[in-house]
Amino acid sequence: MCRISGIIDKASDSIYKDILVMRDAMKHGGPDSAGVYCDDTVNLALGHRRLSLLDLTAAGDQPMKDNGGNVILVFNGEIYNFIDLKAELSAAGCQFHTHCDTEVIIQAYLQWGNDCYARFKGMFAIALYDKRNGELTLARDHAGIKPLYYYADADKLYFASEIRAFTAIKNKWEENSKWKTYLLTFGYLPEPVTTLKNVYSLEKGSYKVFNVKNLQSKHHFFYKEDFTDTITDIEEAKKVIRDTLEKAVQNHLVSDAPIGLFLSGGIDSSILTLLAKKYKQEDLHTLSIDFKDKNFSENHYQKLIVDQCHPIHSSFVLDEQSFVNDFPDILLAMDQPSSDGINSYFICKYARQYGLKAVLSGIGADELLGGYSSFKLANKVAKLRSIPGFIFNLANYANTDKYRKISFLSKKGLVNEYLFYRGYFNMQETAKLLDIDRREVYETLSTVTVPDFVSNLSNENQVSYMECNLYMLGQLLKDTDIMSMWHSLEVRVPFLDYDFMKAVQSISSSLKYGHAQSKYLLIESFKNILPRDIWDRKKQGFTLPFKNWMKDNKIQHMLNQPDMKMRDRFLDGDLAWSRYWTYSIANEFNAVK
């Protein structure tokens, strides 16, 4: 796990200085070592900050070159099938000098060219410069687990793992004037949107090839989601889930540095811990967050798994004073504005204090296997599609936030249905808060679309696609990455393993969804090892007692509050804390800091 950056700028006379600035703005994400590569003939520079997890020696440092010095790589992430690829490449005559996956990427490229990206099963953001053909390729993993942002015009190309690397180079970046519209509506910035004008995230499952001399580019996809519904037998479905997830956990535990698991006490983290025990008999590390307030404590459920697995466990108690003390650092850590991320900040902070360098997380299970209320609402919402939109528009005049969200259905389309499930401020509210015309809000939000094929999926698979490609991609993965790397920690997500995702999306929608029990198929697959108390209870998300803590006077003084009515509504209990927090971030976040 690392941080990468790069520049091609024909007119610059300070490219070495600039790449150092970009690279070291992300030092927190790679404290173990740093490197730079420059090619003055084309004014190209690559920067790298390393968090060492495989082959902890200097042999694994980056930028890394092939033996001839013609292929230069900077890479962020993990290739979980690198051992299998290394064996295949060795049989083909390739020679290796390190024990890390970085060298496997270079050799795979030399052997298969850009077809190599489709062979990688992992999480990655890659920048690969081939001096032989004068091309620089940017590539991103199948699920978009690792971030990669870029800016390109006719004269220059910049890319980095974080937006803060762009803004570290002063006086070069304009603010995206629309970002607050996205934030207030979605609660985050949906990909490929960022806070900077013409700076975008590279699409997941794709690679973009740039000619380093004229910066012309070609964009290719090596991965497409495919809901085939080919598995229709329940026993076959359970077996493929068990087999692929167990293999994913085994692969995700490979590390030369201390690794552990987040144990929340929920279904997903409990299953991962139970499976990990098979491969980490002596040194299985787990950690949990607990609260003095019993309404938020899941200690009972965490203890059930601890007693069953006997890991080396640590539980951290998070209280209001810790929240107040760390609040300024939370704001500083935030690379892109988001209504979430605070919970990730603390669990990652404690994991690093615990001595871990990598942890496994349960992100992805809810999105793939029906863990959210949106899956239960999907068929009901589908029946509303024939109702004229103006009827839903009446919800703008409702007295509560809950009912005003219905107005999202006044505009047809799957994204608007998603916003009905998860939206924050509706279009009318957003327009009022930003003092702009409602039509401008609508036109901005209309840029967020889903592919045509999604409309042909079952209603629940439509929801799964949107939860994965809007909520998870735009918020959960982004927040987890930035908050973990702020604390020099890698988070691995076995439920987003390439083979596991393919397996789940091949299972019939009727087997995955439509049951009274959320994530029914996942529970049935592991019922023989999962304690009943873990799954036979009301779902409790990974939440903290923010509502009360946000009312602390010290927190209030830290926030920029242009509209005191919003604060008063929150303090009086008329405005949900998540909406208040989103509104506060829209005013607090400095896009070009």
Residue 213 lies in a domain: yes
Cβ distance 58 to 33 under 8 Å?
Answer: yes
At 79, is the secondary structure helix, strand, or coil?
strand
As for how many domains the chain has, the answer is 1
Q: Is the pLDDT of residue 502 over 80?
A: yes
Confidence (pLDDT) at 541? 55
> Is 463 contained in some domain?
no
Could you tell me if residue 76 is inside a domain?
yes
Strand extents, DSSP E, 240-372: 259-262, 285-290, 312-317, 358-360
Question: Is the pLDDT confidence value at 378 over 60?
Answer: yes
For residue 365, is it within any domain? no
H or E segment to which residue 38 belongs:
strand 33-39
**pLDDT score, position 540:** 57
pLDDT confidence of residue 539: 61
Q: Does residue 24 form part of some domain?
A: yes
Task: Say if 433 falls within a structural domain.
Answer: no
Is residue 45 included in any domain, yes or no?
A: yes
Q: Which residues contact 135 (CB under 8 A, 6 or more apart)?
A: 129, 209, 210, 211, 212
Range of the domain at 34: 2-163+199-221
Reduce the secondary structure of 122-153 to three states and give it as a string: EEEEEEEEECCCCEEEEEECCCCCCCCEEEEC
Specify the pLDDT at position 543. Answer: 57
Instruction: Report which of 187, 79, 78, 81 is spatially closest to residue 472, judged by C-alpha positions.
Output: 187
Q: Which pLDDT band, with edges at 50, 70 and 90, does 561 fall under?
A: confident
- Tell whether 325 is covered by a domain: no
CATH number assigned to the domain comprising residue 35: 3.60.20.10
Q: Is the pTM of this model over 0.85?
A: yes
pLDDT tens for 447-471 read 999 999 999 999 999 999 999 999 9
Residue partners of 567: CB distance under 8 A and separation at least 6: 556, 561, 580
